[in-house]
Chains A and B, each alone.
Chain A
Amino acid sequence: NAGVTQTPKFQVLKTGQSMTLQCAQDMNHEYMSWYRQDPGMGLRLIHYSVGAGITDQGEVPNGYNVSRSTTEDFPLRLLSAAPSQTSVYFCASSTGSNIQYFGAGTRLSVL
């Protein structure tokens, strides 16, 4: 069972570079979300989607873009990376039960 798959697992960027973190789920979940996790701060919601074609901002959306063209995929784009975006990023998906299932995470460093 693949569940929620995130790629890459690790990434190092220079300030100003752009990149896309990939997230795919094979559980036919309508709801998908992106979080960042920083030391001592738990998980903070960046963006979420309640279904294909629908996205909305979470708690910390600045500097990130998302799109949801299919049910399976929910990529997160950093347009111009900044050191403040150094973090561990988690993608999650869920059905209407609200129980979210998380991917293994992407550790991003911005130099």
Chain B
Amino acid sequence: EDKVVQSPLSLVVHEGDTVTLNCSYEVTNFRSLLWYKQEKKAPTFLFMLTSSGIEKKSGRLSSILDKKELFSILNITATQTGDSAVYLCAVVRNNDMRFGAGTRLTVKP
């Protein structure tokens, strides 16, 4: 059965820390992997990864995919309280998307 597993499930850090969030997957017909950030309401798109080894970067956030080992990481450097959210990993298969349970990140001042 296809699955997407995120770790850790929750994480508490202080402002300025660097965090690494993990996403491993076992799916058939893999097309791409996406990262979303969810605060109070709807998930908002962060990155889409389709090729191994190519880092995607946006400000303090970056992500990379390893299609051989079937995982992705999301890095956040110099964390801020505004980074507090649930981070969701999702894998796109042929016609649908399978989500992990998410990592709840709390950044304390």
List the interface of chain A (C-beta within 8 A of B): 33, 35, 40-45, 48, 50, 56, 58-59, 90, 97-105
Contacts and interface: CB of A to CB of B under 8 A. Distances in A.
Size bracket of the B interface: 20 to 34
B96 interface: yes
7 contacts: A41-B101, A56-B95, A97-B48, A100-B97, A101-B45, A104-B42, A105-B42
B96 A43 contact: no
Contacts of B108: none
Main secondary structure of the interface of B (DSSP, over half): strand
Contacts of B32: 98
B34 interface: yes
A104 B41 contact: yes
Given A98-B34, A105-B42, A48 B96 contact: yes
Contacts of B34: 98-100
Nearest to B102: A42
Contacts of B42: 90, 102-105
B95 A48 contact: yes
